[in-house]
Chain A
Amino acid sequence: MKRHPLYGLMAEFESTDNLISAAHRTYAEGYRQIDAFTPFPVEGLAEAIGFHKTRVPLICLIGGLIGCSGGFFLQWWPNVIGYPLNVGGKPYNSWPAFIPITFELTILCAGLATVFGMLALNGLPTPYHPVFNAPRFELATRNKFFLCIKARDAKFDAQKTREFLQSLNAREVSDIEV
């Protein structure tokens, strides 16, 4: 290879409307390995690039269930099995008194699972990523909108894909080196 291997092509857009319609057309054209970059969450953009479902709620639920059952067990075991103390004939498993800690641990585990699950699914922390090589990409955290078609897409062709992106009302289309 004479030139650097290509990660993909990056197109820059001025507004969310341009970006969303471009994303829709890119998806309709048959590209699947696409991603968009915006300075704030844009409604409908994830769906436009064909990303519908996220497993974050499921992870949250699992975390919550672990916290809930673990929290209750944490109190039930010492009081009933580990070190039972008979205080005035009151039941060992006095579950209403165990509810506050069970609740707190449910929230704690669900919250930790949500945050670390979200970070893990997003692959963060990412020490290096090729999209940062795109020119003007620092504006993706300020006021510009970007659409990327990755080179590993089955339909990707350096020349044709570039022409296609240019036809989408993009301000600029540039190569991204790996």
Chain B
Amino acid sequence: MGSDGLDNTPALNPSTPVLAPGHNYASITDKISSIVLLQRTRRGWWLGFAIAFSLLMVLQLAIGYLLMVGVGIWGINIPIGWGFAIVNFVWWIGIGHAGTLISAFLLLMRQAWRQSINRFAEAMTLFAVASAGLFPLLHMGRPWLFFWLTPYPDTMGTWPQFRSPLVWDVFAVSTYGTISLLFWFVGLIPDLATLRDRAKDRVSRIIYGFLAMGWRGSAMHWHRYEMAYLLLAGLATPLVVSVHTVVSFDFTLAVVPGWHSTIFPPYFVAGAIYSGFAMVVTLAIPLRKFYGLEDFLTLRHLDNMAKILLATGCIVAYGYMMETFMAFYGGPSYDHYMMMNRMTGRYAPVYWTLILCNIAIPLGTLWFAKIRRNVGALFVISLIIQTGMWLERFVIVVTSLHRDFLPSSWGMYYPTRWDWATYLGTIGLFFTLFLLFIRFLPMISIFEMRGLAHELKEKEG
């Protein structure tokens, strides 16, 4: 706090714009499309791409070695059969959820501030799901037999176990990936047409023209398009909730203490949104700075997202509280032991770091408007939240498994260098795809920003 003490007067009143004044249809179009079409590739982009691509090569190496030797190169063992693979899977898929929520849920809620963040948040979803999907496949040990998870008429007449959450997961995640891709691509069509019409060289015109499929902005097309977009949003909103619910079923349908809990579905969904919005903030802050997009990604956006972080953080904190309360309320039992072990056992430092990163720091700071509007502070907090959410999944997976019912089957889990290589590798995959996306496609939805400018003009006039 400064000399003025607890100054929490809003520096932004509710009418603070979601689009800086002075923009018209042409200036919005030119500014966003110029990043793709006219500007030269920046040195910062090359640097980021070099790092991300190197990490992607690390992933390639890690996967190659894994396929040669098997999952024994990871630190997993019995009793901790899940390890990093499932920690990372849940972490990535959770990050993805914010993108769908921004594009679908905020659309249904008619939140005008979503227009400038939905495109890159959807891209984030897609790439996060791609990174997430790798882990269960690799964790299977023989990934080339992944099709055993799908219902296909095999010669022995056997079928997947449809009552198993692990099979539900296959359907949930593949549906989620498909719908996210459709949503993202449908949103891109009018912008691809803009790029087609504004591209200078023939190759770009052909590629963008091919992808735009002959979109011409006809009123009838827009009418059907908006209807389809709205329906997709209506479908994607429950989907996002169901996907993380199914992911939490992977845990909660088992009888392991620390997993078998009815609070898991809602608290997993809240945690997913929490980490996902943190990732959106992590991506938005450098983007607006390096590409000069402060007019479109205003402080209002950051402030709103910080408020969502605060709200979902509170839900997550409630989840932790209830989990602890129920463990003790249930009397001396396996759950009781599990919770004491979490707080004071071998993995206690991880647990307390998670509480620090997820609860103490964000919920202690984000209440203050000054911090929510401090770009640097928000960036750091968003990174802390993502670390915290990763640790949360680590605690859930590892501390629950490492000491279950029989002391004779207790054990410890230590990640190996290949665990770390695979994890860092998917970060490389994510950022490689993301950097390619911001280089070749408009990172802000141009047509929705034009619509927003129109709306704001109507309101004024």
Within 8 A of A (CB), among B152-176: 157-159, 162-163, 165, 167-168, 171-172, 175
Q: Is the CB of B179 within 8 A of A141?
A: no
Closest to B167 in A: A101
Q: Is the CB of B218 within 8 A of A35?
A: yes
Complex: A40 Cα to B217 Cα, angstroms? 7
Closest to B162 in A: A75
Provide the residues of chain A in CB contact with B367, threshold 8 Å: none
Complex: A14 Cα to B172 Cα, angstroms? 47
Q: Is the CB of A141 within 8 A of B227?
A: no
Partner of B217, one of A16, A38, A108: A38
Q: Is the CB of A141 within 8 A of B194?
A: yes
Interface SS majority for chain A: helix
The answer to whether B448 has its CB under 8 Å from any CB of chain A is: yes
Provide the residues of chain B in CB contact with A141, threshold 8 Å: 29, 190, 193-194, 196-198, 215, 217
Closest to A94 in B: B163
The answer to whether A127 has its CB under 8 Å from any CB of chain B is: yes
Chain A, interface size: which category? 35 or more
Q: Is the CB of B216 within 8 A of A37?
A: yes
Q: Could you mark each residue 75-97 of chain A with 1 if its beta carbon is under 8 Å from any beta carbon of chain B, else 0?
A: 10011001100000000001001
The answer to whether B219 has its CB under 8 Å from any CB of chain A is: yes
Known A-B contacts A16-B454, A39-B29, A142-B197; the reply to A117 vs B228 at CB < 8 A is yes
Q: Mind listing 30 A-B residue pairs with CB under 8 Å?
A: A35-B218, A36-B218, A36-B219, A37-B216, A38-B217, A38-B222, A39-B217, A40-B190, A40-B450, A40-B454, A41-B225, A41-B447, A56-B224, A57-B227, A83-B157, A83-B158, A101-B162, A104-B239, A114-B231, A118-B228, A119-B213, A122-B224, A125-B214, A127-B214, A138-B197, A138-B198, A140-B197, A141-B197, A143-B25, A143-B26
- In the complex, the 8 A-B pairs of residues with the closest C-beta atoms, listed nearest first: A126-B214, A125-B213, A143-B25, A118-B228, A46-B223, A138-B197, A78-B159, A97-B163
Partner of A121, one of B30, B215, B224, B226: B224
Complex: A6 Cα to B196 Cα, angstroms? 25
The answer to whether B221 has its CB under 8 Å from any CB of chain A is: yes
**Max chain A CB contacts within 10 Å: which of B178, B216, B219?**
B219
Q: Is the CB of B214 within 8 A of A39?
A: no
Complex: A75 Cα to B160 Cα, angstroms? 9
Q: Is the CB of B217 within 8 A of A37?
A: yes
The answer to whether A115 has its CB under 8 Å from any CB of chain B is: yes
Provide the residues of chain B in CB contact with A139, threshold 8 Å: 197
Complex: A57 Cα to B238 Cα, angstroms? 17
Q: Is the CB of B239 within 8 A of A107?
A: yes
**Max chain B CB contacts within 10 Å: which of A35, A111, A127, A141?**
A141
The answer to whether B418 has its CB under 8 Å from any CB of chain A is: no
Q: Is the CB of B227 within 8 A of A54?
A: yes
Chain B, interface size: which category? 35 or more
Q: Is the CB of A54 within 8 A of B214?
A: no
The answer to whether A132 has its CB under 8 Å from any CB of chain B is: yes
Give the tally of cross-chain contacts (CB within 8 A): 186
Q: Could you mark each residue 190-202 of chain B with 1 if its beta carbon is under 8 Å from any beta carbon of chain A, else 0?
A: 1001101110000
The answer to whether A124 has its CB under 8 Å from any CB of chain B is: yes
Q: Is the CB of B242 within 8 A of A49?
A: no
The answer to whether B71 has its CB under 8 Å from any CB of chain A is: no
Q: Is the CB of A60 within 8 A of B231?
A: yes
Complex: A152 Cα to B450 Cα, angstroms? 33
The answer to whether B262 has its CB under 8 Å from any CB of chain A is: no
The answer to whether A65 has its CB under 8 Å from any CB of chain B is: no
Q: Could you mark each residue 35-56 of chain B with 1 if its beta carbon is under 8 Å from any beta carbon of chain A, else 0?
A: 0000000000000000000000
The answer to whether B246 has its CB under 8 Å from any CB of chain A is: yes
Provide the residues of chain B in CB contact with A107, threshold 8 Å: 175, 179, 235-236, 238-239, 242
Known A-B contacts A37-B216, A37-B217, A104-B242; the reply to A56 vs B157 at CB < 8 A is no
Closest to A19 in B: B219
Q: How far is the CB of B209 from chain A (nearest CB, A)?
A: 9
Complex: A112 Cα to B182 Cα, angstroms? 8
Q: Is the CB of A111 within 8 A of B163?
A: no
Complex: A41 Cα to B29 Cα, angstroms? 15
Provide the residues of chain B in CB contact with A101, threshold 8 Å: 162, 167-168, 171
Complex: A107 Cα to B25 Cα, angstroms? 35
Q: Is the CB of B451 within 8 A of A37?
A: no
Provide the residues of chain A in CB contact with B225, threshold 8 Å: 41, 118, 122
Provide the residues of chain B in CB contact with A142, threshold 8 Å: 25-26, 29-30, 194, 197-198
Provide the residues of chain B in CB contact with A137, threshold 8 Å: 216
The answer to whether B111 has its CB under 8 Å from any CB of chain A is: no
Partner of B451, one of A41, A54, A94, A140: A41
Provide the residues of chain A in CB contact with B236, threshold 8 Å: 107, 111
The answer to whether A178 has its CB under 8 Å from any CB of chain B is: no
Q: Is the CB of B448 within 8 A of A40?
A: yes
The answer to whether B186 has its CB under 8 Å from any CB of chain A is: yes
* A100-B249, A141-B190 given; 13 more Cβ-contact pairs under 8 Å: A37-B217, A49-B220, A78-B162, A82-B159, A100-B165, A107-B235, A107-B242, A122-B218, A124-B189, A125-B213, A125-B214, A129-B214, A141-B196
The answer to whether B232 has its CB under 8 Å from any CB of chain A is: yes
Q: Could you mark each residue 433-461 of chain B with 1 if its beta carbon is under 8 Å from any beta carbon of chain A, else 0?
A: 00000000000000110110010000000
